[in-house]
Amino acid sequence: MVTPLKLMIVAAEASGDTLGAGLIRELQAQSSMPLAFFGVGGKQMAELGIESPFDIAQLSILGMVEGLKAYKRVKARVADTVALAQREKPDAVILIDSWGFTLRVAHGIRAVMPDVALIKYVGPQVWATRPGRAKTLAQSVDLLLALHPMDAPYFEKEGLQTVVVGNPALNVDFSKADPEDFRARQGLGADDPFVLVLPGSRPSEIRRLMPTFRGTLERLAAEHPALKFVMPVADTVRGLVHEGLAGLTIPVTLIEDEADKLSAMRAATVALACSGTVSTELALAGCPMVIAYKVEPLTFFIFKHISPLNHVTLFNIMAGKTVAPEFIQNDCSVDNLVAAVDARLTDKTLRDTQREEQFAALDLMGRGQPAPAKLAAAAVLDHLNVNPKVTN
């Protein structure tokens, strides 16, 4: 009997959980030898048999100040993760995104298991800020699976083997999305407007954005009495979303099913979205959007002084201009968000123009390339000298 190759997958956020689940499926599909998986993850990885030693929602942290406040909690979960690795003795550990947490895990595992292969899936965006992290990562792991072509030169310069696998958001499968059915189930006609509201998947995002989003929805509802609102809810922040909407006098339809979320993206007139991966998904769905974001004031101050970027949304960065409007920090106000969303609700030409410019920016990002999970799995197996399955 062939002993399975043991792979530890560590994902500390909802987006990483999605990446982890996709990678596991592709590794199983491509590997010529049996594989056994364990690690840290969320709902999607749990459905594939990964029993996480703790709830990853407590690690959903963004920003320098937020990270300092959560230091003790993060340190404890790092210790739990390293202990799990020591107990299960993996052949390789794949650390997904979540820079601060996974870097500490990498150091912890390296200290007690110096020969285990460490693979990082998603590197820090050193082209946007803090290029010194490239050297730090190169000293910490053996292989990087990068999302963007502009990542590779920074890490390869430091001697880290880097394979560009592409951005998973560019390969979201919308083939089963049914916008017409979704609209019908919401009691909406083909031309009835509705706003898709995406306040984020991290607790800090919900806490900071929900009051402003709530005020924005109330104002939009007052100006457009027939307007409907739909809000997808990540399982990591379900409770906080319900708290944030408590007592709201206008109806907001909450959806948790992934298929409904994709259908809603295709069906929405316009989206009001927290900055992040979801902006790429919305663009791929052809949904015009308004982007909003807030962090700790000190975090924002530091970012503005160390980043050369004029935008935070990836397709805006690639386009070199404002395709989707961004309202960050003090600009993220009810007045600004209402004005931007209302302009897109009432001007079809504006929506159509933005949609086409979003598509053009996605093409610059590599839309249409092979699915990143396939390329990532192939790179992992190659690094571990595991032959791919022979298929007819």
pTM: 0.70
- The pLDDT of residue 360: 95
Q: Measured on CA atoms in the order 190, 336, 327, 255, is the torsion positive or negative? A: negative
Tens digits of pLDDT across the chain (392 residues)? 689 999 999 999 988 999 999 999 999 999 999 999 999 999 999 999 999 999 998 786 555 545 556 688 899 999 999 999 999 999 999 999 999 999 999 999 999 999 999 999 999 989 877 889 999 999 999 999 999 888 999 999 999 999 999 888 888 889 999 999 999 999 999 999 999 999 998 888 999 999 999 999 999 999 999 999 999 998 878 999 999 999 998 999 999 998 999 999 999 999 999 998 899 999 999 999 999 999 877 776 666 766 666 788 889 988 889 999 999 999 999 999 999 999 999 999 999 999 999 999 999 888 888 889 999 999 999 999 998 886 54
Tell me what pLDDT residue 392 has: 44
Annotate 47-61 with b (16+ C-beta within 10 A) or e (fewer): eeebebeeebbebbb
Catalogue all structural domains in the chain, each as residue range(s) with its CATH number.
5-166+369-383 (3.40.50.2000), 179-365 (3.40.50.2000)
Q: Which of 141, 106, 107, 148 is nearest to 126 (CA)?
A: 148
Q: Which residues pair with 229 in a beta bridge?
A: 195, 252
State both tokens at 112.
């007690």
Query: Hey, what long-range contacts does 109-112 have (CB within 8 A, 24 or more apart)?
Result: 109/82, 109/85, 110/140, 112/82, 112/85, 112/86
> Going along 216-300, which residue ranges are E strands?
228-232, 252-255, 270-274, 289-293
Which residues sit opposite 161 in a β-bridge? 143
Distance between CA atoms of residues 9 and 13, nearest Å: 12
pLDDT at 140 (0 to 100): 98
CA distance 193 to 190: 9
Contacts of 175 (CB under 8 A, 6+ apart): none
Burial status of residue 317 (CB atoms within 10 A of its CB: 0-12, 13-18, 19 or more) = buried
Tell me how far apart the alpha carbons of residues 53 and 110 are, in angstroms, rounded to a whole number.
20
**Consecutive H or E run containing 234:** none
Amino acid, single-letter form, for residue 256: E
Would you state the structure tokens that stand for residue 122, as one six-digit string? 């998603």
pLDDT at 301: 67
In whole angstroms, what is the distance from residue 59 CA to residue 74 CA? 7
* Gap between the Cα atoms of 39 and 288, Å rounded: 37
